Amino acid sequence: MKTSLRHTLHVLALSGIFFLLCLAAGPFIGPQPLNFTEAWAHRMNPSLSPDAAILFQARIPRVLFAALAGAALSAAGVAFQALLRNPLATPYTLGVSSGAACGAVLGMLLGFHHTVGGVPAIQISGMTGALLTVLLVYWLGRKTGGSTHTLLLSGVTLSFFFAACIMFMQYLADFTQSYRIIHWLMGNLDIADYDTFYRTLPGVALAIIGLWLLSSEYNLLSAGEESARTRGVNIKRNYLVTYLCASVAVALVVCVAGPIGFVGLIVPHTLRLMVGPDHRILLPASALCGAGFLILCDAAARTVFAPAELPVGVLTAILGGPFFLVILLRKRH
C-alpha cells in the first residue's frame, strides 16, 4: 500500500498538534477556575496554594494518565481490528479487559492494600488476571484451529464468564467493598498520580511501538491470511505479538483506571474515514488522537455536572453506544 511521505507527515503533524493542544488545555478545564500565576509561583511547594495543589497534584497527573490510557486503548483497537479483520473489534473483544477487571476486583475483595516492590498489589492482581486471560485465549485459539473467529469467540466467552465472576464477588462484598468495586468498574481517572503514570508509561510505550512495527503486516493481512502468508508474513508470530502487545497495553491501563470502553472503537474508525486504512499512519495517528480524545472526555466528565463528577467510562460509553450502532448499520449496508 503506497503512501506518500508528505501525506504521512501531514497526518502525523495534525494528530500531534491535536494531542498537544489537548494536553496543554486539559489541566485548566475543570469546575474550579485556576490562577496560573499563583499556581506557578508555588509550584515547588503546592501545599502553600490551593491553585498550585489543584494544578500540580491533581489535574496534571490525571491529564497525563488520561493521555496514556487513550493512546493505549486506541492503538490496541487498531491492532485488534486489523488482527480480526472486524471493524467492530475493540480492546475488550478478546476478554483481556474483563480478565484484568476480574483480577483487580478479586484483589479489592481480599483487601490487597499493600504494595509489592512499590507496585500496588491490586494492580499486580489485575495484571495477573489479564496475562492469564491472554494465555488462555491464545491457547484456546491454537487448539481450535487458530483462526480469527476462534480467537474472537474464545474472548467473548471469557468476557461473559469474568463478568459473572465479578457479579458474584460483588454479591460477597460488604458495603464499602461493593461501593469501591462499582466506582472502579465505571472507569475513573481520579486516582492517577505521578507514580502511577511513570510506572505505567514504559510498558504502554513499548507495547505501542511493538504494534507499530507490525503495521506493514497489518496492511497485508487486510487481504486475507493466505495472501499475507504468500507475501512473507509469519501469521502465527504476528498473532502472538499483536495479542500480547495490545493486551499488555490495555491491561496496564485497566488495572489503574478500570474499564473505559469504546475509545478503541471511536478513535480508529473516525481516523480511518479521514486518513485511510494504511496502518502505518493509522496506528500512530490513533494513539495521538486517542490520547487527546480521552483528555477531553475526562475534562468534560469532571466539568459538565460540577460539583459532581461523572466517571469518564460512563461518558465514553454514552458516546460509544450510538457510534457502535452507526457502524453496525453502515456495515450492514
Highest mean pLDDT among 15-29, 41-55, 174-188, 189-203: 15-29
Q: Residue 110 and residue 122: Cα distance in Å, rounded?
A: 10
DSSP 193: -
Task: Compute the average pLDDT of residues 32-57.
Answer: 85
Per-residue DSSP letters for 171-199?
HHS-HHHHHHHHHHHT---TT--HHHHHH
Report pLDDT for 333: 53
What domains can be seen in the chain, in order of their start residue? 16-24+35-332 (1.10.3470.10)
Task: Compute the average pLDDT of residues 129-143.
Answer: 80
Report pLDDT for 150: 75
**How many CB atoms neighbour CB 290 within 10 A?**
29
Least trusted range by pLDDT, from 4-8, 191-195, 209-213 = 4-8
**How many CB atoms neighbour CB 121 within 10 A?**
15
Is the model more confident about 44 or about 93? 44
C-alpha cell at 105: 476486583
Type of residue numbered 67: A
Task: Compute the average pLDDT of residues 93-117.
Answer: 84
The pLDDT tens digits for 232-266 are 888 888 888 998 899 889 988 988 888 898 898 89
Report pLDDT for 304: 85
CB distance 49 to 38 below 8 Å: yes
Q: Residue 198 and residue 332: Cα distance in Å, rounded?
A: 43
Question: Does 206 have pLDDT greater than 90?
Answer: yes
The pLDDT tens digits for 57-90 are 989 999 999 999 999 999 999 999 888 887 777 8
Report pLDDT for 75: 95
- Which residue bears the cell 480467537? 151
Residue percentage of the chain with pLDDT more than 70: 96
Report pLDDT for 208: 96
The pLDDT tens digits for 268-290 are 989 998 888 889 999 999 999 99
DSSP 119: E
Report pLDDT for 49: 86
CB distance 100 to 158 below 8 Å: no
Report pLDDT for 1: 46
Tell whether the torsion through CA atoms of 196, 97, 145 and 75 is positive or negative: negative
- Which residue bears the cell 493512546? 71
Residue percentage of the chain with pLDDT more than 90: 32
> pLDDT band for position 145 (50/70/90)?
low
C-alpha cell at 211: 504494534
Report pLDDT for 17: 96
- Which residue bears the cell 492469564? 132
The mean predicted confidence, pLDDT, of the chain is 86
Is the model more confident about 324 or about 303? 303
